[in-house]
């Protein structure tokens, strides 16, 4: 393991270069902070040192404070382990010191790393260095003086924008705003920084302390107005994120009472908010996402991923064209196969439209689009499959069709080629049962739209080779997805865990709860949209196709109704044809449709529910619980059957695949904040009143009776438990 160290080297010019070294990004671990204080004290005491240059090792300044410390604080609840950086190091040791400091930045200066640089008297950077204060993504605020110094260097509006949106900028833009004093090449960086430091020491340049500047804050009334407007905007866009308002509190303190008062308040607020539920949740997500790259018996057995250069996608519909787009954006050659020229042209146009959408957003240049499309070839047969490294089948959910495709591609593709299916529900062993290559068969389940949604659910059977799993994980990262490896079962991890989501919503409607109220409550909980608007967006075809599959696989714990069939019979197909649970108007406008009530009444009649006409009475909290607790319950079964490697994989999959609110930490993390005993008691009560849909799983029952968290992995006595990993 690489050592964390801080070096001091004094040149003949009288400049001491202090270098932080903590690979890979020189994170500010407590040992680095202690080392900085020690080396600064040495530099200040030495008569041969006139000035100081602060820099980072291995081409990076610093990626910020060591987040592992946050995790320790969350376990112990003890904020005293947080080192005093803001006042003791940045103000007293660096900014107010007798000898000037210049930050020499390359690679990145993020979070606490940038805050150290802000405390220096000048900042010299390479052109493309990344600069930002992304602390709010972790539920905290800048804690080393960033809320005070950044506004004083770049202006209040730009600083708030950078902090609240966690938006980083390049050094070129930083120079334009006044954050960076000079740009230098990598080769000249230290030389320019040393010269600048000497000129500061010799008073040939003015020594400016960022904390004491006010020239870019504007008048007090202007500053108040900017903060007020940003507060209102944050309330609308980030209602569940308290750190936004807390950050503005710290900024405002400095505007009114001065920079040092702002620093003191910032430090106090930081220690309060680091223990908040939001911070705990977002730090958990940070580590959980990184944990997905570690899969036992795949990433720890010495295998090296093979490079995938050419991919074939079978099916150019919504999913197939999206998948093809994702690979093309990863600079991978793509063969798109369809059954006839009409479908093929439609698929090719869909890919072009996906790329046009990215051009309009500014995330893709026209030149890059042209280059990307040059790597695409459309075909009507398998002759171009002879040299592909991976095939992804993305056709409709019909078992015989998928089996036929896999039988064909096994014969024509090279022996090393990975045979993948994008099926969202069908057991992969059934898909590949007519082949002799089950070690090469894997699920590559993308989420729609596939070129946008970040999750890639990698499904392995008991026969899938570790090499194939590793290769798909690697190519997933190449195309900028977060790969989560799961076991093989109906619906896999995400769709299986969330099948009760829409069913619970329909059950509540059949019990008399207003459909549109349900959507409002679930959106208010933090989901991107409610379950009925989501079904409108997805269309009804997939839901109808998978309905019998789940009903068969999970007998006794599904809620059966004819509501969706009645919607289709009434000529509704959601947003696709402008009529679903909502009416869709031009300009993406939607409004409730009162005529849906007749369909609901008929569905209730056929289901034999609410025959008395009296609806149940529920609070908004009960709506959230009655919809999400069955989802948690199914996640418990997924855990018991070892479909996932670890509980936190469910959290990441729920956030990235289904839009579960990130600030709640993911499905199981959120459930553990509520407690297994409470969830079990509620489900047991509802099962008695409304049937087997709510019956608690054995895994949940065991943990509830022992008072254990649901995320705690361990053997379950459930007879259905079997390792799939």
Q: Mind listing the pLDDT tens digit for each residue in 688-698?
A: 999 999 999 99
Whose structure tokens read 């099962």? 687
Diameter over CA atoms, the chain: 93
pLDDT digits (tens, 9 = 90+) for 524-580: 999 999 999 999 998 898 889 889 989 988 998 999 999 999 999 999 999 989 999
Q: What is the mean pLDDT of residues 615-637?
A: 97
Mean pLDDT for 122-143 is 97
Calculate mean pLDDT across residues 83-102: 96
Domains along the chain? 5-275 (3.90.226.10), 310-488 (3.40.50.720), 494-706 (1.10.1040.50)
Q: How many residues does the chain have?
A: 725
400-419: average pLDDT: 95
Give this prediction's pTM: 0.93
Q: What is the pLDDT of residues 475-519, one digit of tens each?
A: 999 999 999 999 999 889 999 999 999 999 999 999 999 999 999
Paired tokens of 581: 């649970």
What is the per-residue pLDDT across 318-331, written as a single tens digit (0 to 9) for each?
999 999 999 999 99
Give the orientation angle of helix 494-510 with respect to helix 515-525, to 10 degrees: 140
* Residue range 263-299, pLDDT digits in tens: 999 999 999 999 999 999 999 999 999 999 999 999 9
Contact of 542 with 721, CB cutoff 8 Å = no
Q: What burial letters (b/e) apply to 413-431, b meaning 16+ CB within 10 Å?
A: beeebbbbbbbbbbbbeeb
Backbone Cα Rg of the chain: 29
Residue 97: CB atoms within 10 Å: 16
**pLDDT of 596:** 97
Encoded tokens for 538: 């997805």
Q: Does residue 160 have a pLDDT over 80?
A: yes
Least confident of 137-141, 335-339, 341-345, 397-401: 397-401
Locus of tokens 């001065």: 258
Cis bond upstream, residue 449 (ω within 30)? yes
Note if 135 is an active site residue: yes
- Is residue 110 within 8 A of residue 62, CB to CB? The reply is yes
Pull the structure tokens for residue 62. 């610093």
- Split at pLDDT 50, 70, 90, the class of 54 is very high
Check residue 613 and give its pLDDT.
78
Residue 2 in this model has a pLDDT that exceeds 80? no
Does the pLDDT at position 158 exceed 90? Answer: yes
Of 9, 38, 115, 457, the catalytic one is: 115
> For residue 719, is pLDDT > 60?
no
Report whether pLDDT(112) > 80.
Answer: yes
Q: What is the DSSP string of 266-299?
A: HHHHHHHHTTSHHHHHHHHHHHHHHHTT--TTTT
> What confidence category does residue 397 fall into, taking pLDDT thresholds of 50, 70 and 90?
confident
The per-residue pLDDT of the chain, averaged, comes to 94
Q: Is the pLDDT of residue 247 over 50?
A: yes
Which pLDDT score, from 0 to 100, does residue 612 have?
A: 76
Residues 6+ apart with CB under 8 A from 648: 284, 287, 288, 291, 666, 668, 669, 711
List pLDDT tens digits, range 162-216: 999 999 999 999 999 999 999 999 999 999 999 999 999 999 999 999 999 999 9
DSSP-based three-state secondary structure for 22: coil
Distance in angstroms (rounded) separating the CA atoms of residues 336 and 354: 15
pLDDT at 1: 41
- 55 neighbors 104 (Cβ within 8 angstroms): yes
722 pLDDT above the threshold of 70: no
Is cis: bond before 566, omega within 30 of 0?
Answer: no
HSE-up (13 A, CA, CB side) for residue 265: 19
Cα within 13 Å of Cα(133), Cβ side: 31
- Which among 42, 95, 135, 560 is annotated as catalytic? 135
Residue 713 has pLDDT above 90, yes or no: no
Place of tokens 């254990």: 708
Distances in whole angstroms, Cα of residue 455 to Cα of each of 362, 384, 436: 22, 29, 29
């Amino acid at each position: 393991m690489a050592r964390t160290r801080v070096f001091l080297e004094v040149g003949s010019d009288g400049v001491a270069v202090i270098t932080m070294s903590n690979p890979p990004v020189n994170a500010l671990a407590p040992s680095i902070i202690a080392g900085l204080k020690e080396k600064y004290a040495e530099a200040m005491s030495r008569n041969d040192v006139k000035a100081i240059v602060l820099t980072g090792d291995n081409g990076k300044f610093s990626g910020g404070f060591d987040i592992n410390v946050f995790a320790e604080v969350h376990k112990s609840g003890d904020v005293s382990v947080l080192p005093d950086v803001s006042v003791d190091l940045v103000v007293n040791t660096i900014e107010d010191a007798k000898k000037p400091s210049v930050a020499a930045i390359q690679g990145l200066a993020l979070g606490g790393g940038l805050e150290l640089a802000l405390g220096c008297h000048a900042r010299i950077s390479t052109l493309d260095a990344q600069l930002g204060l992304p602390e709010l993504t972790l539920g905290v605020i800048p804690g080393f003086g960033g809320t005070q110094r950044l506004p004083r260097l770049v202006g209040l509006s730009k600083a708030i924008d950078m902090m609240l949106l966690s938006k980083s900028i390049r050094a070129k833009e930083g120079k334009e705003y006044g954050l960076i004093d000079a740009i230098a090449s990598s080769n000249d960086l230290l030389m320019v920084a040393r010269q600048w430091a000497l000129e500061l020491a010799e008073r040939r340049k003015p020594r400016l302390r960022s904390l004491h500047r006010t020239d870019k804050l504007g008048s007090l009334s202007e500053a108040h107005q900017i903060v007020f407007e940003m507060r209102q905007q944050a309330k609308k866009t980030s209602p569940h994120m308290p750190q936004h308002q807390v950050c503005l509190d710290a900024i405002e303190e400095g505007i009114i009472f001065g920079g040092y008062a702002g620093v003191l308040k910032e430090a106090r607020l930081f220690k309060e908010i680091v223990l908040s539920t939001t911070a705990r949740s977002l730090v958990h997500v940070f580590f959980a996402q990184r944990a997905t790259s570690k899969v036992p018996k795949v990433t720890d057995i010495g295998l090296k991923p093979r490079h995938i250069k050419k991919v074939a996608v079978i099916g150019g519909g919504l999913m197939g064209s999206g998948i093809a787009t994702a690979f093309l954006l990863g600079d991978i050659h793509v063969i798109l196969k369809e059954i006839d020229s009409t479908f093929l042209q439609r698929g090719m146009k869909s890919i072009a439209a996906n790329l046009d959408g990215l051009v309009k957003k500014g995330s893709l240049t026209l030149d890059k689009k042209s280059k990307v499309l040059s790597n695409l070839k459309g075909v009507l047969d398998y002759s171009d499959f002879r040299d592909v490294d991976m095939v992804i089948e993305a056709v409709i959910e019909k078992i015989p069709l998928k089996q036929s495709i896999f039988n064909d591609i096994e014969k024509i593709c090279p022996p090393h080629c990975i045979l993948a299916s994008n099926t969202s529900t069908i057991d992969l062993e059934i898909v590949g049962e007519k082949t002799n290559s089950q070690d090469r068969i894997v699920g590559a389940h993308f989420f729609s739209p596939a070129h946008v949604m970040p999750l890639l659910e990698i499904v392995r059977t008991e026969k899938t080779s570790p090499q194939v799993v590793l290769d798909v994980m690697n190519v997933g990262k190449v195309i900028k997805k977060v790969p989560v490896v799961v076991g093989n079962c109906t619906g896999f991890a995400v769709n299986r865990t969330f099948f009760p989501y829409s069913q619970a919503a329909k059950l509540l409607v059949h019990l008399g709860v207003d459909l549109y109220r349900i959507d409002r409550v679930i959106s208010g909980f933090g989901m991107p949209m409610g379950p009925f608007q989501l079904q409108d967006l997805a269309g009804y075809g997939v839901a109808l196709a998978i309905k019998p599959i789940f009903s068969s696989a999970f007998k006794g714990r599904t809620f059966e109704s004819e509501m969706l069939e009645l919607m289709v019979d009434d000529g509704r197909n959601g947003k696709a044809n402008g009529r679903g649970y909502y009416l869709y108007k031009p300009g993406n406008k939607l409004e409730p449709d009162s005529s849906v009530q007749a369909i609901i009444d008929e569905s209730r009649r056929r289901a034999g529910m609410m025959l008395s006409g009296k609806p149940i009475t529920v609070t908004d909290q009960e709506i959230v619980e009655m919809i999400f607790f069955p989802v948690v319950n199914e996640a418990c079964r997924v855990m018991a059957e070892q479909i996932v490697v670890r509980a936190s994989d469910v959290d990441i999959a729920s956030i990235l695949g289904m839009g579960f609110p990130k600030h709640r930490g993911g499905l199981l993390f959120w459930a553990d904040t509520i407690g297994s005993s409470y969830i079990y008691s509620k489900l047991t009560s509802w099962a008695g009143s409304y049937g087997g849909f709510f019956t608690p799983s054995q895994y949940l029952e065991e943990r509830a009776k022992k008072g254990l968290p649901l995320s705690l992995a361990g053997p379950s006595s459930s007879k259905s438990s079997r390792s799939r990993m």
